[in-house]
Amino acid sequence: MNSATRARLAAPRVVLVMALVAIAVAIVWSARPHAETQAERVDRITAELRCVVCQGLSVKDSPSESARQMRDLVAQRVAEGRSDDQIRDEFRASYGDWVVLAPPLASWSGLVWLVPLAALALGTLVALGRIRPAPAVAREPAPADVAALRERAAREEALDLPVDAR
């Protein structure tokens, strides 16, 4: 192709690339870490603790009295400078692992975190395996294949059906 065509094709390509770069920059910029305030830290910890009198709500979400008292306790411990693990352990000592709303990564139960990744990976592999480029040259089919195909076509056409307009 000549240079004019090349230039014409290049312009939208450049725009496309710039747009993709802009998106990437925006995402990275919005993902930059910022110092967590104490209130945010309390929110984060209480979001992972289970309200003991509710059916599955977190301490952060629940408006119940018990949840409020738990939030106050967490806030006090955060102000005292305890670590996240210490605060969680305090509740786990009283209520067991049940009170934490997601299994910690570093445990046998932590394997549940891998489930979606494993499912995706496995599925993608299977899917990619099914995408086989068509052969460049059409082969002449074997007579057995043709017969099978005909038999199948006959079977399908046996139950007639008006094909959908689309």
Which of the residues 6 through 45 are near another protein (CB under 8 A)? 9, 12-13, 15-16, 18-20, 22-23, 26-31, 34
Taking the CB of residue 104, how many other CB atoms lie within 10 A of it? 13
Which of the residues 133 through 162 are near another protein (CB under 8 A)? 133-134, 138-141, 145-146, 149-150, 152-162
Q: Which token pair is 78?
A: 């955060």
Output the smallest distance, CB 142 to another protein, in A: 10
Which of the residues 80 through 119 are near another protein (CB under 8 A)? 91-103, 109, 112-113, 115-116, 119
Give the span between the Cα atoms of 100 and 162, in whole angstroms. 57
Q: How many residues bind another protein (CB under 8 A)?
A: 90
Taking the CB of residue 95, how many other CB atoms lie within 10 A of it? 13
Give the span between the Cα atoms of 75 and 68, in whole angstroms. 10
Q: Please, which residue, 83 or 141, has the CB nearer to another protein?
A: 141
Output the smallest distance, CB 132 to another protein, in A: 5
Give the span between the Cα atoms of 96 and 87, in whole angstroms. 13
Output the smallest distance, CB 160 to another protein, in A: 5
Q: Pattern of binders to another protein over 44-83, x per CB under 8 A?
A: ---xx-x-xx-xxxx--xxxxxx-xxx-xx----------
Give the span between the Cα atoms of 49 and 23, in whole angstroms. 35
Output the smallest distance, CB 20 to another protein, in A: 6
- Of the candidates 45, 52, 102, 51, the residue with the CA atom closest to the CA atom of residue 79: 45
